[in-house]
Structure 1
Amino acid sequence: MQIAIDIIVFALGLIAGIGIMIIKIRMTSGSPQTKQELNNCQQENAQLKQNWQDNLAAFRSVATNLHEMSQHIDNQIEDAEQLLKDDKQTPAFPFFSKEATHILANANRKPRDKSNLDNQPLDYSGSASGVFKGSINTPINEDRT
C-alpha cells in the first residue's frame, strides 16, 4: 500500500508541475495582441528617441549660429568704438593746420539757409563797366588805319 500511495503522490506532483509550467508558459508568452502592442510601443519609443536626437542637433546648430553672430556683433562694436576713439587723434600729416583743425572740429554744423537772390551780384551788373565798356556793334578784329 505504501508503494501505491507513493505512486499516487508522485503522479499528483507530476501533474501539478506540468500544470504550473503550462500556466506559466501561457502567462509569459501572452496573446498575439499583447505582442503587437509591445512591438508598437517599442517602435514609438525608438521614433521618439530619434526625434529627440534630431531636435537636439537642430538646437545645438542654432546655439552655435547665435554664438557666432554674437561674436561677430561684439567684434563690430569693438571696431566701431576703436574708430570713435581714434577719431580724436590727429593724423601724422594733417591736411589743415592745428588751429584750423580745431576750429573745424568745434564748429557748429548747421545747414546754411538758402537765400533768395533778388539782386544780381556786382560782377554781373546791368550796366557795362571796365573791359566790357564800349559799343556792342564794334567787331573785335577791326583794322584801325
Structure 2
Amino acid sequence: MNIVIGILIFAVGALVGFIANKMLSASNQEHQQLAEKANQSEATLAQYKLDVAEHLDNSTQLLEQMNTTCQKAMQQMEQSTKLLQQATPAEGEVMPFFSKETQEQLAQTVALRHNKTTRPDKEITEAPLDYSGESSGLFNDKKHTVTNSEINE
C-alpha cells in the first residue's frame, strides 16, 4: 500500500507540476513577447529620434543657405541701385531720344517740306451724295405686310 500511495502522490505531484509548468510557461512566453515588443518600441523610438534630429539638421542647413542667398540678393540690389543712381543724368543733362545725326536729318526734312496753304472752311449744308434723302423706314415699328403675313401654300 505504501507503494500505491507513493505512486499516487508521485502521479498527483507530476500532474500538478505539469499544469504549473504550463501556466508559468504561458506567462513566461507572454513576458518574453512583451519584452520583445518593448525592445522593438525602444528601437523604433531611437530611430525616430535620429530621423527627427537629421531632419532638423537639414532644415537648419537649408535655412542658412536661404539666409546667405537673401543676403547676396540684397547686396546685388544695393549695387544695382547705386549703379542706377550714378547712371541717371543730372536735371540739366537730358539724353536725347534721337542721335545727333538723326536730329540733323529730321531738321533738313522739315525745312524741305513745302508749306501747305490752308483753305477757308466752307459751310456744308448738303448731305453727302452717298446718303439718301429719304428715310428707309427700317427702324420704324410699323408692320410690313410682306414680313408679317402668313404664307399660303
Same fold (TM over 0.5): no
TM-score by length of 1: 0.44
TM-score by length of 2: 0.42
